[in-house]
């Protein structure tokens, strides 16, 4: 069962994600995460090219589509678990996403999309808190992504 070309843990397509600089590790980094698929999708956006200076409108439009997908997946879980705080965060994420218009104003949309992604992150953490699981920190997975951190040379 399942698609052999997808990670059995986090359901990521087993191909390198160029947008996120994601390289396939020998073992799924989300193996011990609760909601591995949600965390994995979140991080592919979090570390995505669309948030960087080098982004072109096409990157932003593609990220917008992925963000919508992630939001609807998180919403599905939130509705099932029925956690008030998470439902509020989902509503806020939809509100932020509605302010984005990647086809007409891609660069202006980035801040709204950033905000939506942040609310999605809150919603994922609301779910994790309910399970008394470890909260999701993208920094824990940073090593699996080609991340160019701003100000890294100052560290």
Phi/psi of residue 6, nearest 5 degrees: -120, 150
* Least distance between Zn ion and beta carbon 134 (Å): 17
Given the complex with Zn ion, which of 7 and 41 has the nearer CB atom? 7
Phi/psi of residue 17, nearest 5 degrees: -95, 100
Asked if 7 touches Zn ion (CB under 5 A), the answer is: yes
Cα–Cα distance, 110 to 27 (Å, whole number): 32
* Least distance between Zn ion and beta carbon 29 (Å): 7
Asked if 24 touches Zn ion (CB under 5 A), the answer is: no
* Least distance between Zn ion and beta carbon 148 (Å): 23
Given the complex with Zn ion, which of 97 and 124 has the nearer CB atom? 124
Q: Which of 17, 22, 28, 100 binds Zn ion (CB under 5 A)?
A: 28
Q: Which of 6, 9, 92, 140 binds Zn ion (CB under 5 A)?
A: 9
Q: Segment near Zn ion (CB under 5 A), from 27-35, 94-102, 114-122, 143-151?
A: 27-35
Q: What tokens were used for 137?
A: 């920190």
* Least distance between Zn ion and beta carbon 39 (Å): 10
* Least distance between Zn ion and beta carbon 89 (Å): 24
Cα–Cα distance, 66 to 68 (Å, whole number): 5
For 87-147, the DSSP string reads HHHHHHHHHHHHT--TTT-HHHHHHHHHHHHHHHHHHHHHHHHHTTPPPP-GGGGGGGB--
Q: How many CB atoms lie within 10 A of CB 70?
A: 22
Q: Which residues bind Zn ion (CB under 5 A)?
A: 7, 9-10, 12, 28
């Amino acid at each position: 069962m399942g698609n052999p070309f997808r990670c059995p843990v986090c359901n990521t397509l087993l191909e390198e994600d160029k947008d996120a600089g994601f390289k396939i590790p020998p073992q799924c980094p989300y193996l011990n995460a609760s909601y591995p698929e949600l965390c994995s999708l979140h991080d592919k956006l979090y570390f995505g090219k669309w948030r960087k200076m080098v982004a072109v409108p096409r990157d932003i439009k593609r990220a917008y589509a992925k963000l919508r997908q992630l939001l609807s997946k998180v919403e599905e879980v939130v509705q099932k678990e029925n956690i008030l705080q998470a439902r509020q965060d989902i509503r806020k994420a939809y509100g932020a996403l509605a302010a984005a218009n990647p086809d007409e104003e891609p660069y202006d949309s980035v801040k709204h999309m950033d905000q939506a992604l942040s609310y999605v992150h809150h919603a994922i953490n609301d779910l994790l808190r309910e399970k008394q699981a470890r909260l999701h920190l993208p920094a824990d997975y940073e090593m699996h992504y080609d991340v160019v951190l701003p100000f890294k040379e100052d560290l």
